[in-house]
Amino acid sequence: MDKAYIVFDKLRKGKGFWNYFISRRWGHVFMVMDKGAQSIVIETLSCGVYVELVNQRSQELIHEFIFKLDGTAVIEATVPEAKYIKGFRPKGLITCVSLVKSILQVRDLSITPHGLFKSLKRSGCKVIFERGKNDGKNVSYRGVKR
Distances (CA, A) of 44 to 17, 50, 87, 99, 131: 15, 6, 26, 7, 23
The burial of 9, by beta-carbon neighbours within 10 Å (0-12 exposed, 13-18 middle, 19 or more buried), is given as: buried
The domain of 59 spans 2-136
Q: pTM of the predicted model, to two decimals? A: 0.79
Amino acid at 125: C
Amino acid at 72: T
pLDDT at 138 over 60: no
Does a structural domain hold residue 141?
no
Domain count, the chain: 1
DSSP classification of residue 37: T
Does a structural domain hold residue 142?
no
Q: How many CB atoms lie within 10 A of CB 122?
A: 9
In angstroms, the first-to-last Cα distance of the chain is 33
Q: Are 35 and 102 in contact (CB under 8 A)?
A: no
Does a structural domain hold residue 146?
no
Q: What is the pLDDT of residues 44-96, one digit of tens each?
A: 887 788 999 999 988 888 888 877 766 788 999 988 887 766 665 666 678 88
Does a structural domain hold residue 100?
yes
